[in-house]
Amino acid sequence: MVKISEEFTVGNELGFHARPAALFVKTANSFQSEILVKKGEEEVDGKSIINLLTLAAAKGEKITVTAKGKDSAEAIKSLKKILADTFKK
Amino acid sequence: MVGLIIVGHGDFPRILVNSAEEILGPIERLKVVSFYSEGSKNSCRIDLRRAIKNLESPDGILLLADMFGGTPCNVSVSLQKAFHLKIITGLNLPMLLEAVLHRGKEVGKLTKIVKESAIKSIIETW
């Protein structure tokens, strides 16, 4: 199984809030790969908006996105774009 | 795609759907049925049956009701077996968001995910 991880720093004032989290989840659900998001020691299912929001990722904090599965490369590429757009605002 | 019906007292279900659409954008195959104090129980049942008929498909229907034991819930439960509805009570915004975001899944699996997520979303902050 292909596993790809990438780390991101939350760069926007509002943090990883509801709208970008919803977009992230919509995109994550379009891939077969398992998507995990980790902050510190806590790792959650990236296909659930509640799980993502309970991470409460605030400005300056780091999150790691991991995709496990056949389409993990495409998944990471798409999710990276969403996070890059979100965190630069 | 699983059809969604949101039921509750007064304007609450419509306003909640508006809030969900603020976050997710327009939501398709979703019906709101509001129960008002001046309306009869029978007219609410007719509205609910109409919504169910409108959404009927092999993918099934998940109905989210505002409160267990309230009239919107009780009327929904009275139609549950006839229309093979899945019903979850305790409607809240995270529950609705999860329902929309996972509605491509099989209706039984969707129901389990939505219920578990809604419970998990109630948090005491510190």
What is the amino acid identity at position A38? K
Q: Where are the domains of chain B?
A: 3-120
What pTM value is reported for the model?
0.90
Annotated catalytic residue A17: yes
Residues of B with CB below 8 A from A50's CB?
Answer: 94, 97-98, 117-118, 120-121
Q: Which of A84-88, B4-8, B81-85 shows the lowest mean pLDDT across its residues? A: A84-88
Asked if B123 and A18 come within 8 Å (Cβ–Cβ), the reply is no
ipTM for this model = 0.84
According to CATH, the superfamily of the domain at B3-120 is Phosphotransferase system, mannose-type IIA component (3.40.50.510)
Distance CA A25, CA B5 (A): 22
Yes or no, beta carbons of A48 and B121 under 8 Å apart: no
Residue A6: count of CB within 10 angstroms of its CB:
14
Is residue A88 classed exposed, middle or buried when 0-12, 13-18 and 19+ CB atoms within 10 A define those classes?
Answer: exposed
Q: A3-87: which CATH number, 3.40.50.2300, 2.40.37.10, 3.40.30.10, 3.30.1340.10?
A: 3.30.1340.10
Q: Tell if the CB–CB gap between A29 and B104 is shorter than 8 Å.
A: yes
Q: Alpha-carbon distance A31 to A51, whole Å?
A: 18
Candidates A4, A11, A17, A27; catalytic one: A17
Tens digit of each residue's pLDDT (9 = 90 or more) over B44-92: 899 999 999 999 999 999 999 999 999 999 999 999 999 999 999 999 9
Q: How many angstroms separate the CA atoms of B89 and B76, rounded?
A: 10
